[in-house]
Amino acid sequence: MNSQTIQVRNPATLEKITELAVASRGEVAGAVERGRQAQTLWQQSHFSERARLLYRLRDLLLDEGDKLGDILTAETGRPRAEVYGNELFYLCSAIGTWAKKAEEYLRPTRLKPHFPLVKAKKVISSYSPRGVIGIISPWNFPLTMTLGEALPALMAGNAVIIKPSELTPLSAIFGAELAVKAGFPEHLLQVVVGYGDTGAALVDHADMIAFTGSVETGKRVMKQAAERLIPVSLELGGKDPMIVLKDADLDRAAGACVWGALMNSGQICTSIERVYVEAPVYQKFVDQVVEKVRAIRQGQSDAEVDLGSLTSEAQLKSIAAQVDEAVAHGAKALTGGKRNPTLPGFYYQPTVLVDVDHSMAIMTEETFGPVIPIMKVKDAEEALQMANDSRYGLSSSLFARDKALAEQFAERLQSGAVCINDSLVNFIIPDAPMGGRKDSGFGYRHGAEGIRKFCHQKTIVIDRFGLKEEFPWYPATKKKEHQVRHLLNLLCHSGWRHKLRALKGLMTS
């Protein structure tokens, strides 16, 4: 019997919320087995029935909005308005998307062979569920990254086991309880609570792992999954750049920058974490950003505030170390630059840094905090070069009035998504695929790719004419050999003389 427990604390007040038992390896294995049994029946349900239950779940999420707000603000330290405007907003949008589009995305497709010699075959590509999907999720969006990731897996006919972060497990537990209340079969969606060992046990038993988190942990998950040859999707870190060209609407750019960098205290994989501004508009842009950041209200969720606390003390120390290192090497903090001394929890002041460069970790390593480092560049090409000078490639933002030029630059940015004259918005469009490049991982959430990853893809080839035998079948003969050579020349060779000789060869063979 595993007696280890997890203490869940409010990072804004440091008060203990509750204590939960850690799931042992045996308990994880048991959860997966129960999930398998539930899944065998679930996969036989029609998309319309699955959609009906999703809509029922959405109604319950809205009905239980107050309780949902209580749980999320308590375990994350975020403002209540942010919980509704981001987590609940996203889930409502995602449920509508998957309920309406899952059947379309997974409908069997008739394929038409290109090569004439196989046109007589009927070819179908179809999708079937993998079985039990393990979701290992981070703490920054404890409902979006758990229940939100489970939605397409469930709509595809799978069972789901969620291992939430040990810092924020309560939202996932509440989401699973609402799913049962909505009518989803028992054990189809389960939550196992624990640390890294619990996640490792899930990798040892599930049929696929969807992991969101750090690069280092993602590599360990992938290595372990390779031992069983199960698929993984990895959404890892980001160091997302923002480029401001000299013709940009600076009012909009500054507002998008502050929002895109500070929302959820900067604890988002797609947060704006470094900004490159063309020299002619650099100072004006910096002044506008500083003015907006100084107006940010930071505090506890029961007050009317814009910014809450960080989720962990470890994250607070990591952010402080990056800022301190940058300042020690010549950067200047125009706002913030230290822990907020007036609040009891893990609060770091919203910070604007200038005089930064790529010798500093603040410009090259993921910060995951409320810090905006801004760098002056001489022109658009240098901005593009600096933006691509990163081991990450998750998302990016580009501001320019010349939209044609902006789209050209967007194609050259080495990231999975680009927002032009906007920030963060790509994540809240579940119709559009989202994934990373480089160390930001691989695999997609959202769109057709975001549900098909939870499926086996199968090709079915059907003989249409019922001949007694096919041309390539045994026995092999010289005549067949010559006929194949002539056919290939006739069908594939670009020279007309070769085609003419091939046709004559077929007529005489």
pLDDT in tens, 25-46: 999 999 999 999 999 999 999 9
DSSP letters, 64-77, are THHHHHHHHHHHH-
The model's pLDDT over 229-288, given as tens digits with 9 standing for 90+, comes to 999 999 999 999 999 999 999 999 999 999 999 999 999 999 999 999 999 999 999 999
Contacts of 141 (CB under 8 A, 6+ apart): 86, 87, 148, 264, 268
In this predicted structure, the answer to whether residue 509 has a pLDDT above a threshold of 80 is: no
On whether the CB atoms of residues 126 and 458 are closer than 8 A, the answer is: yes
Pull the structure tokens for residue 335: 């706002």
Mean pLDDT of the chain: 96
- Give the lowest-confidence range in 6-10, 223-227, 466-470: 466-470
Question: Does 104 participate in catalysis according to the annotation?
Answer: no
Q: pLDDT value at position 299?
A: 96
d(CA 98, CA 151): 7
Domain ranges of the chain: 20-236+448-457, 240-435, 473-509
In this predicted structure, the answer to whether residue 2 has a pLDDT above a threshold of 70 is: no
Which stretches of 77-123 are DSSP H helices? 80-82, 89-105
In this predicted structure, the answer to whether residue 1 has a pLDDT above a threshold of 60 is: no
Burial of 359 (0-12, 13-18, 19+ CB in 10 A): exposed
List beta partners, residue 435: 444
The model's pLDDT over 57-107, given as tens digits with 9 standing for 90+, comes to 999 999 999 999 999 999 999 999 999 999 999 999 999 999 999 999 999
Q: pLDDT value at position 302?
A: 81
Domain 240-435 is found in CATH 3.40.309.10: yes
> Annotated catalytic residue: which of 269, 273, 419, 455?
269
Question: Does 419 participate in catalysis according to the annotation?
Answer: no
Q: pLDDT value at position 508?
A: 87
3-state helix, strand, coil in the chain (%, to 5): 45, 20, 35
Mean pLDDT of 313-337: 98
For domain 20-236+448-457, the CATH class is alpha beta
pTM of this structure: 0.96
DSSP letters, 321-369, are HHHHHHHHTT-EEEE--SB-TTSSSS-B--EEEES--TTSHHHHS---S
pLDDT band (50, 70, 90) for residue 420? very high
> Annotated catalytic residue: which of 82, 235, 273, 366?
235
Fold match flag (20-236+448-457 vs 240-435): no
d(CA 357, CA 361): 9
Side chain identity, residue 203: V
In this predicted structure, the answer to whether residue 500 has a pLDDT above a threshold of 70 is: yes
Mean pLDDT of 354-366: 98
The model's pLDDT over 282-291, given as tens digits with 9 standing for 90+, comes to 999 999 999 9
Radius of gyration in angstroms for the set of CA atoms belonging to the chain, rounded to a whole number: 27
Mean pLDDT of 108-121: 92
In this predicted structure, the answer to whether residue 3 has a pLDDT above a threshold of 80 is: no
List beta partners, residue 332: 354
